């Protein structure tokens, strides 16, 4: 590629293209700095026209931190278990209905793990002819737009997270939560997070994994979780990413929530590679 690297907004919300970078070549230190600076300000960054295998995708992830295996066993990449498939096609070539319904409500990934991911990377390999996008909500802007009394309530709250135990998780998965290697216990994260680089406040409650708040009865907590999800996913905070084959998209797992739009014909193939990246030991930030 000969274009000099530059950013180009995808509309007036979260999505931003990072152009002029070929991820199949080693990324030099100066370009790494540029990517990380850009990502701190633009939490959904899209690199177009890439063609990476699982090993190269994980290697790109290692530039930010440590990719870790995802909970769901079935979708792990055979040779690179820190990379997973997001696919709606089963081993027999038929529609994989779990893959179709998976992640079609708002969440950030793996907040039920004992450590929080920094970011995730999705690489589109096959996409439906129409729609089949991924949506992202800006949880910094959602926080800023909360009424002051909500902000002060949330500042004192610790949220409880579990695997698909929140209201949207129960609705979406019921008893069909998929096979995992281990049992997940409840973990707790403050309801308001701060961005590790910019210090901006972030509403960190998602309706798939957040299933309560410490010292709050469930019949108060669930409506609050639902209300926060409805607030944060208003059109004014949401970017719809229409995939092109070759897109490598990175998103900040703290500053955004996301979902599969779930609006395509399931008989069309939708196949992507994903890795989820955690902070390197002893390092909480992105830079």
CB of 27 to Mn ion, least distance (A): 25
- Nearer CB in complex with Mn ion: 31/275: 275
- Nearer CB in complex with ligand OGA: 132/213: 132
φ, ψ dihedrals at 46, nearest 5°? -120, 125
Judged by CB under 5 A, the stretch of 40-48, 107-115, 192-200, 229-237 that binds Mn ion is 107-115
- Nearer CB in complex with ligand OGA: 20/81: 81
CB of 242 to ligand OGA, least distance (A): 11
Tokens of 82: 């820190």
Tokens of 112: 């039920």
109: contact with Mn ion by CB under 5 A: yes
Contacts 24+ apart (CB under 8 A), 57-62: 57/83, 57/121, 57/123, 57/248, 57/273, 57/275, 58/82, 58/83, 58/275, 60/23, 60/27, 60/121, 60/248, 61/121, 61/275, 61/277, 62/277
- Nearer CB in complex with ligand OGA: 50/260: 260
Name which position in 7, 103, 153, 245 contacts Mn ion (CB under 5 A).
103
Distance, CA of 68 to chain centre:
14
How many C-alpha atoms does 224 have within 13 Å on its Cβ side? 23
Tokens of 18: 């990072």
CB of 286 to ligand OGA, least distance (A): 20
Judged by CB under 5 A, the stretch of 103-111, 150-158, 186-194, 279-287 that binds Mn ion is 103-111
What is the CB neighbour count within 10 angstroms for residue 152?
10
Tokens of 208: 């798939």
CB of 276 to Mn ion, least distance (A): 8
- Nearer CB in complex with Mn ion: 109/247: 109
Backbone angle region of 132, left / alpha / beta, with phi > 0 → left and psi within -120 to 50 → alpha: left
CB of 264 to ligand OGA, least distance (A): 10
CA 226 – CA 27 distance, rounded (Å): 41
CA 271 – CA 124 distance, rounded (Å): 7
Cα–Cα distances in angstroms (integers) from residue 285 to residues 21, 177, 187, 254, in the given order: 23, 31, 21, 11
- Nearer CB in complex with Mn ion: 157/250: 250
Interacting residues toward ligand OGA by CB under 6 A: 86, 102-103, 109, 134, 258, 260
CB of 92 to ligand OGA, least distance (A): 21
- Nearer CB in complex with ligand OGA: 210/260: 260
Judged by CB under 5 A, the stretch of 77-85, 99-107, 134-142, 194-202 that binds Mn ion is 99-107
CB of 144 to ligand OGA, least distance (A): 24
Q: Which does 86 bind (CB under 5 to 8 A by kind): Mn ion, ligand OGA, none?
A: ligand OGA
End-to-end CA distance of the chain: 26
CA 160 – CA 190 distance, rounded (Å): 9
Q: Which does 38 bind (CB under 5 to 8 A by kind): ligand OGA, Mn ion, none?
A: none
Q: Which does 134 bind (CB under 5 to 8 A by kind): ligand OGA, Mn ion, none?
A: ligand OGA
Per DSSP, the three-state class of 60 is helix
- Residues at the contact surface with Mn ion, assessed by CB under 5 A: 103, 109
């Amino acid at each position: 590629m000969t274009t000099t690297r530059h950013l180009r907004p995808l509309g007036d919300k979260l999505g931003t293209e990072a152009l002029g970078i070929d991820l199949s070549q080693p990324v030099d230190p100066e370009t790494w700095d540029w990517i990380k600076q850009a990502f701190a300000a633009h939490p959904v960054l899209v690199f177009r026209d890439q063609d990476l295998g699982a090993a190269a995708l994980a290697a790109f992830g290692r530039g930010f931190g440590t990719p870790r295996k995802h909970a769901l066993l079935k979708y792990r990449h055979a040779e690179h278990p820190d990379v997973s498939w997001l696919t709606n096609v089963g081993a027999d070539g038929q529609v994989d209905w779990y893959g179709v319904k998976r992640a079609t409500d708002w969440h950030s990934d793996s907040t039920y793990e004992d450590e929080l991911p920094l970011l995730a990377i999705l690489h589109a390999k096959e996409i439906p002819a129409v729609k089949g996008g991924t949506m992202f909500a800006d949880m910094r802007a959602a926080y800023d737009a909360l009424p002051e009394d909500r902000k002060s309530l949330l500042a004192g709250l610790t949220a409880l997270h579990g695997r698909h135990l929140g209201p949207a998780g129960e609705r979406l998965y019921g008893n069909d939560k998929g096979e995992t290697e281990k049992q997940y216990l409840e973990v707790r994260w403050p309801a308001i997070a701060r961005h590790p680089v910019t210090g901006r406040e972030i509403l960190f409650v998602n309706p798939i994994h957040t299933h309560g708040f410490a010292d709050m009865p469930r019949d108060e907590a669930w409506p609050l979780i639902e209300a926060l999800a409805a607030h944060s996913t208003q059109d004014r905070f949401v970017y719809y990413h229409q995939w092109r084959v070759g897109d490598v998209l990175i998103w900040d797992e703290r500053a955004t929530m996301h979902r599969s739009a779930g609006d395509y014909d399931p008989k069309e193939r939708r196949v992507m590679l994903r890795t989820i990246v955690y902070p390197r030991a002893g390092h909480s930030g992105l830079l």
